[in-house]
Structure 1
């Protein structure tokens, strides 16, 4: 699959390669622990080694890739204790983000979240229950965090941890039973945000992430 360059600063060839590899890692097409072979990837995507190296460097900064001595660049493999740590961080920080979002969200933000719930419901109906996996401004969690208005929370959750979290959220989204429950929890959170109930919004978000963590723990223990 060839990747073409666009002559704009915002959409360079390295950016295109980064996005392609990032999505493949998040979705599991490139499995945890896999080696990112520059010759193989350059041939597969029909790109030169320079932009490819830059893309791998960016993936490293996203914490999706690490360099192993004598092993080159490999996709990160998170063990269960690390996953639990990340979800404990999410529980605390996203809970606070939800409370702040309830305080600060405007009508436009409420309309956006309502639209995302409709999109998710339609997707689940069309796919037999799989919850939609989208990123950035069409990701329900991402939009709630952005609505908090707290730049430190936004940086930590939407940049530093975002794609690590998406790797494991993606697995959970393929389970119809968890997808249905997660959607109901998003609906409850939306109602709390709409009512400007900070305490309820934080409580719902924290419980939502606890359930997600427990689900992922069970998945990893069964593998």
Structure 2
């Protein structure tokens, strides 16, 4: 006879897994867990106050998203890209976001797009220095997410989400300096101005240039940065 699970127990477990997925995803995207880092089950069960079952289910979900790799005899490891994968994903990102930013500028005055976009990108106008990688990467992720959110193409936004393109910048974070963060923020502002002005071609050109310069950082990094 198979064991039965009380409805409330199943709901509670599902909520725990969702909380773990969200917490771990946030930690990875904000560089609290670095590319190549092994996630220790004993530490995480203690930190999150959960058992191993929900944690392993969260690992499986994040592996399906491409954020973790489940390695035999090592467990869950934050995905680390090879140099070739980094370049290929930058090519994909430039093509996808180039289209997204062009569409966003074209539809910025439809519905509530303008107000939503302005709300989502508000942090880029702050004059406070970006001194930490975690703060910069969160702002960077939100800015690029805002473009996808108002571009009017749900399939494009979903595809970009599946590829977990923010991982590229996390991999390069070790080579970035506060001056680079400020340059990137300045470029974000120019892209935003072009979108808000409805200048689709200019917005696309600026976005592609922005990502091209980010891609060049990979060439300055030692081979040990990347997975072989």
Query: Which interval holds the TM-score relative to the shorter structure?
Result: 0.7 to 0.9
Please provide the CA RMSD for this pair. Answer: 3.1
- The alpha carbon displacement at 1:219 in A equals 3.7
**1:183 counterpart = 2:185:** yes
* Distance in 1 of aligned mates of 2:116 and 2:224: 37
The number of residues matched between the two structures is: 213
In the other structure, the counterpart of 2:137 is 133
**1:97 counterpart = 2:93:** no
| The 10-residue stretch of structure 1 (57-66 or 176-185) with the greater mean CA deviation from structure 2 | 176-185
SS in 2 for 1:70: coil
Query: Are the counterparts in 2 of residues 32 and 76 from structure 1 also a CA contact under 8 Å?
Result: yes
CA distance 1:63–1:220, change in 2 (3 Å): farther
In the other structure, the counterpart of 1:196 is 198
SS in 2 for 1:31: coil
- The alpha carbon displacement at 1:79 in A equals 1.6
In the other structure, the counterpart of 1:110 is 114
1:26-51 residue CA offsets vs partner (Å, 9 max, x unmatched): 33332322333333422333211121
**1:27 counterpart = 2:22:** no
- The alpha carbon displacement at 1:127 in A equals 4.5
List alignment gaps of at least 5 residues for structure 2: 1-9
Q: TM-score scaled by structure 1?
A: 0.80
* Distance in 1 of aligned mates of 2:78 and 2:224: 21
CA distance 1:64–1:128, change in 2 (3 Å): closer
SS in 2 for 1:67: strand
SS in 2 for 1:139: helix
SS in 2 for 1:66: strand
CA distance 1:192–1:127, change in 2 (3 Å): closer
Structure number, greater radius of gyration: 2
| The 10-residue stretch of structure 1 (48-57 or 106-115) with the greater mean CA deviation from structure 2 | 106-115
List alignment gaps of at least 5 residues for structure 1: 1-6
CA distance 1:40–1:172, change in 2 (3 Å): closer
